[in-house]
């Protein structure tokens, strides 16, 4: 059996067309959804990410501002910028690209963002809202994974979902979203003694560790849905995920490729959150 591929580019295109339409409707009412992206320093990967985020906004008719600050920017100065953006009516979403330089306390910076503009969903108010099922912004990567499951009409009720990884950005919010849809959820991490024993029981596996070939075909139940959040490079420098794609695709029922899977969905959900931040006004 060969798995069905869940195409993140195709799904993104569909969702981004919807964002564009809703943004046009808002603009007719005099509101242009606006995103501020703050980059501190010159991390090359971060530079690519923020450029892609700003371009995606532009493509969907959203207003975006990219603020590039030098590595030497003080924490106080960054907090001041966020305070100003919190009050700026043309800005509905604020994103501070991570990682930040060592001398800046990232958590303190995230907590300075007004929860109503926290389109990354990293503020503790957003995390608390997700945990309690209250309205709030969901972190974009796990939110994108949920949209991928929705796109194949997958009903999580009564299913066993295994999440590999427990980061605040992906693993933990992913588990809460799956739980909210009535899955039975197991979170595995670096101290889990027998990963294979867990993944073999899974109807859905989300791999979000950042380790190439972490999930191999012998660890997957036939027909399972496999979502690959990993972003790694192989020996030739080619982008690859956490899943041994070629072999797992022979066993799984559905699988997301890397690239072209979860990656594009992350930016798409940022656009959705920014649009919704403007719609909520």
Alpha-carbon gap, residue 53 to 195, rounded angstroms? 34
Task: Indicate the residue among 140 and 175 with the shorter CB distance to ligand GUN.
Answer: 140
Catalytic option among 7, 27, 88, 120: 120
User: Is residue 181 among the annotated active site residues?
Assistant: no
Gap between the terminal Cα atoms of the chain: 49
Q: Are strands 239-240 and 204-207 parallel, antiparallel or unpaired?
A: unpaired
CB neighbour burial string for 258-268, b if at least 16 within 10 angstroms, e if fewer: bebbbbbbbbb
Q: How far is the CB of 141 from ligand GUN (least distance, A)?
A: 6
Residue 3: name the closest of 232, 228, 196 by CA: 228
Q: CA distances (Å), 209 to each of 37, 130, 231, in order?
A: 26, 21, 9
Of the residues 120, 203, 228, 242, which one makes contact with ligand GUN according to CB under 6 A: 120
Q: Which stretch binds ligand GUN (CB under 6 A): 91-99, 211-219, 228-236, 248-256?
A: 91-99
Is 201 among the residues known to form the active site? no
Assess 231 for contact with ligand GUN (CB under 6 A): no
Question: Out of 3, 26, 129, 140, which residue is the one contacting ligand GUN (CB under 6 A)?
Answer: 140
Binding residue for ligand GUN (CB under 6 A) from 97, 256, 273, 274?
Answer: 97
Alpha carbon distance 229, 219 (integer Å): 17
User: What is the rounded CA–CA span in Å between residue 258 and residue 180?
Assistant: 27
Give the binding range for ligand GUN (CB under 6 A) out of 95-103, 130-138, 160-168, 201-209.
95-103
Give least dist CB 271 to ligand GUN, A: 13
Contact positions vs ligand GUN (CB under 6 A) = 95-98, 120, 140
- Tell me the catalytic residues: 53, 97, 120
């Amino acid at each position: 059996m060969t798995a069905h591929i869940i195409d993140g580019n195709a799904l993104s295109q569909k969702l981004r067309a919807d964002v564009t339409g809703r943004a046009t409707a808002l603009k007719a009412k005099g509101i242009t959804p606006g995103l501020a992206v703050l980059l501190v320093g010159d991390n090359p990967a971060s530079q690519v990410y923020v450029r892609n985020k700003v371009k995606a906004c532009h493509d969907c008719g959203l207003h975006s501002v990219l603020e590039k600050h030098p590595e030497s920017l003080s924490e106080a100065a960054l907090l001041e910028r966020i305070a100003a953006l919190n009050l700026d009516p043309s800005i509905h979403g604020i994103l501070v690209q991570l990682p930040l330089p060592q001398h800046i306390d990232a958590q303190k910076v995230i907590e300075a963002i007004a929860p109503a503009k926290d389109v990354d969903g990293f503020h503790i108010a957003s995390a608390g809202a997700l945990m309690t099922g209250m309205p709030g912004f969901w972190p974009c990567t796990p939110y994108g994974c949920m949209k991928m499951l929705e796109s194949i009409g997958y009903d999580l009720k009564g299913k066993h979902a295994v999440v590999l990884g427990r980061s605040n950005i992906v693993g933990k919010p992913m588990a809460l979203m799956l739980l909210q849809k009535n899955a039975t959820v197991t979170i595995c991490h670096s101290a889990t003694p027998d990963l294979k024993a867990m993944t073999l029981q899974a109807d859905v596996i989300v791999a979000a560790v950042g380790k190439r070939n972490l999930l191999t075909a012998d660890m997957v139940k036939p027909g399972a849905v496999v979502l690959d959040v990993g972003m790694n490079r192989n020996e030739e420098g080619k982008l690859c995920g956490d899943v041994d794609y070629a072999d797992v695709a022979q066993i799984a029922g559905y699988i997301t490729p890397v690239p072209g899977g979860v990656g594009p969905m992350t930016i798409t959900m940022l656009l959705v959150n920014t649009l919704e931040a403007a719609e909520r006004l």
